[in-house]
Structure 1
Amino acid sequence: MNRILKHRAFKTTVIAATVMGVVGVAQARDQIRIVGSSTVYPFASYVTEEFGAVTDYPTPVIESTGSGGGIRLFCNGVGEGTPDISNASRRIKLTELERCQENGVTDVTEVKIGSDGIVFAQSSQNEALDLTLEQLFLAVAAQVPVDGELVDNPYEEWSDIDSALPDREISIYGPPSTSGTRDAFEELVMESVSEEMEAYGGEGYTEIRADGAYIDAGENDNLIVQRLTEDTDAFGIFGYSFLVENPNALVASSIDGVEPEAEAISAGDYPIARSLFFYVKNQHAEDVPPLYDYVDMFVSETMIGEGGYLTDLGLIPLPEAEREQTREKVAERAQLQVSDL
């Protein structure tokens, strides 16, 4: 692939389409349909533009629906009205794969493309904070322990949680329940903290407060970034790539003393690190000829390797051995099994 493509201006004309799920027989078409994660969207959008530019196929249609929403559309069935690929910022759930199979989507390949960190950031007009996972949990949980009893979250300002934190109202723009980022945040922050708290009886607690302190900001992480530049007292929760793309506008909090930096995320030292995926509906390959050409381009070293095009957008590459494993799974059309989850 010509290296000058890396310097070509990123196009903003990626087509968005609402994909309706219809179970049936796929009809031949040469335009790939992709749904899913807003975190993976910038990476997939770059690949779709490259694919449209250097092949004879049209640029794939891509829509940012959130991981959960994308997988739901993907699993609606096999046929003309269903997507070929679903991007995800967390692994598909067992219940989701079972629903896929119930609807006839029985041949799916899981493709891991890289690592990502969930950042907790604010306007760069403020000083960066060093938060603990527990402080972050106490800021967002619907119920928290007070004197050994669970009560509705009483914390209105950060200093109510810890006097060393700012006297600022707790206001957090975050992803909705359909988002893979939300799923990962609940697992890596809320479950991990609450399981260690006696008040929750050793069970993971993931209910997020609904009193206005946590604001559902939708699936478009760029809107969260925009809101933080306007509401300089607020914080936002989103993927690392959006921090990379807005270095002058945002400052991220360190978590348990670790900064959200590429090396720390890749090594697993950053506490809120996760993997990124996309899922391929192999049953569409015969009737959607460009499908595997697109997948091969996405997992190439040119895209996801060290120094690949997508690292400029904030993708954190997998170790070399894992990248090779990803390409082997793609080449073999490895079928994801319920027993794998």
Structure 2
Amino acid sequence: MKPIAVTSIGLAAVMAASISTAHARDQIRIVGSSTVYPFSSYVAEELGETTDWPTPVIESTGSGGGLKLFCETNDMDSPDITNASRRMKPSEFDRCADNGVTDITEAKVGSDGIAFAQSNENDSVGFTRKQIAMALLEEVPVDGELVKNPHKKWSDIDSSLPDREIRVYGPPTTSGTRDAFEELVLEAVTKEMKEYGNKGYANLRKDGAYVDAGENDNLIVQKLEKDTDAFGIFGYSFLDENSDKLVGSDIDGVAPEPEAISKGDYPIARSLWFYIKNSHSDEVPAMADYVDLFMSDKMTSDLGALKGIGLITLPQAELEEWRKSVDDRVKLKKSDLE
């Protein structure tokens, strides 16, 4: 028998097939928001238990950190999906485009409130957003001028507040929760104040009143159990999950409750998202099943499993619109974000 001749064209085809096989993988790689992490993890575990796909690998990097990794490259060693507790910024879209990540689909999955909470060993305390801002901003107005924040205790700001040292554990700059807190509390307050030129100001104190506690919201919960004088900033789902240990504060007279968050009455509420790198879909076929499961009635509807672990669900009509957009893999445009 003569040996089979392999032409240069045939060899190239074999090599291409080998490379394609090497690049293809079963396991989805997900990064992003610590707030979305519990919901994404629940879906991932369900996918692993109910299909032949392995459970996706999920890393809690924060919204900003996740989008940075997601937008870095189209290479197959980059994330397939990134979670975010705020919408992608136009500048992040540009970064993706500059790196060739141009086929992205956006999915909105629900809403979340940002809790301002403490150990339930204390009586509940209500705050206005202005009181929180005056406690945490690096510079505050005194006699009509901005000065380095002199407030040591909450009672220095208002005698009705606790006579306790100001100490707040919160997320780092890579976190979508931090972005939303700065926008919805700090900037919202300072835009209404002439001392700041009616412009948003969000520089936080660096003297220990605000403590960057990292991306893991569970660590903040643990710190509040030990440091009962302190307050913490994290997503509502973590407050709901730890209601036996923590008590949330009313903000501007509104309690952090699902109905108030869903209706937008709670003043520190934001939307939750994930972003799909469509260029990976052929090489990572499990992505389609994961996305379908996340957007399904079984997970994100008013009767879905994720509501049971703290997701504030979208109105049904809006959910159906997002499902169609995701099913059709509608390509995200920069104008969508502006």
Is the shorter-chain TM-score for this pair beyond 0.5, marking a shared fold? yes
| Aligned-partner Cα distance in 1 for 2:286–2:212 | 36
Aligned residue identity for 1:185: F
Paired residues of 1:108 and 1:282 also in contact (CA < 8 A): yes
Which residue in the other structure is 2:233 paired with?
237
SS in 1 for 2:152: coil
Q: How many Å separate the matches in 1 of 2:125 and 2:70?
A: 39
Question: 1:69 — aligned with what?
Answer: 65
1:268 aligns with 2:264: yes
Report the Cα distance in structure 2 between the residues aligned to 1:292 and 1:191, rounded to whole angstroms.
39
Counterpart Cα distance in 2 of 1:332 and 1:191: 37
For the pair 1:223 / 2:219, whether they are aligned, the reply is: yes
Rounded Cα–Cα distance in structure 1 between residues aligned with 2:160 and 2:57: 48
SS of 1:75's equivalent in the other structure is helix
Counterparts of 1:121-136 in structure 2, within 5 Å, are 121-136=117-132
User: In structure 2, which of residues 40, 56, 59 is the aligned counterpart of residue 60 of structure 1?
Assistant: 56
Q: Partners in 1 of 2:76 and 2:182 — Cα distance? A: 35
Q: Name the SS for the 1:114 alignment partner.
A: strand
Q: Give unpaired runs (5+ residues) of structure 1.
A: 1-24
Displacement after TM superposition at 1:80 (Å): 1.7
Give secondary structure in 2 for the equivalent of 1:81.
coil
- Which of the residues 304, 313, 319 maps onto 2:315? 319
Structure 2 residue 298 is the aligned partner of structure 1 residue 296: no
**1:307 Cα deviation (Å)?**
2.0
Higher helix proportion (structure 1 or 2): 2
Distance 1:33 1:302 in 2: 22
Q: Does residue 309 of structure 2 align to residue 307 of structure 1?
A: no
CA distance in 2, matches of 1:268, 1:313: 20
1:139, distance to aligned residue in structure 2 (A): 1.0
Q: Say which SS state the counterpart of residue 147 (structure 2) adopts.
A: strand
Structure 1 residue 146 corresponds to structure 2 residue 142: yes
Residue aligning to 2:332: 336
Distance across 2 between alignment mates of 1:340 and 1:247? 37
Q: Which amino acid aligns with 1:89?
A: S
Which residue of the partner structure matches residue 208 of structure 2?
212
TM-score of the aligned structures, taking structure 2 as reference length:
0.93
Deviations 1:121-168 (A, max 9, x none): 000000111100100111111111111101111110000000111110
Are the aligned partners of 1:302 and 1:308 in contact in 2 as well (CA < 8 Å)? yes
Structure 1 SS opposite 2:123: coil
Where do 4+ consecutive residues of structure 1 move more than 4 Å?
none
2:103 pairs with 1:116:
no
Secondary structure of the structure 2 residue equivalent to 1:131:
coil
Residue by residue over 1:197-230, the C-alpha shift from the partner in whole angstroms, topping out at 9 and shown as x without a partner, is 0001011001111110000000000000000000
Structure 2: distance between partners of 1:240 and 1:153: 28
Distance 1:216 1:122 in 2: 16
SS in 2 for 1:95: helix
Select which of 272, 281, 284 maps to 2:277.
281
The offset of 1:27, in angstroms, is 1.8
The count of aligned residue pairs is 318
Compute the displacement of 1:326 (Å). 1.1
TM-score under structure 1 length normalisation = 0.92
Write out per-residue CA displacement over residues 55-97 of structure 1, whole angstroms, 9 at most, x where no aligned residue.
Answer: 1111101000000000000000101210000000000000001
On the 8 A contact 1:27/1:79 being kept in 2, the answer is no
Gaps of 5+ in 2: 1-19
* Structural mapping, 1:244-255, within 5 Å: 244-255=240-251
What is aligned with 1:11? none
SS at match of 1:98: helix
Q: What is the alpha-carbon root mean square deviation over aligned residues?
A: 1.1
Instruction: Find the residue that maps to 2:23 and give its secondary structure.
Output: coil
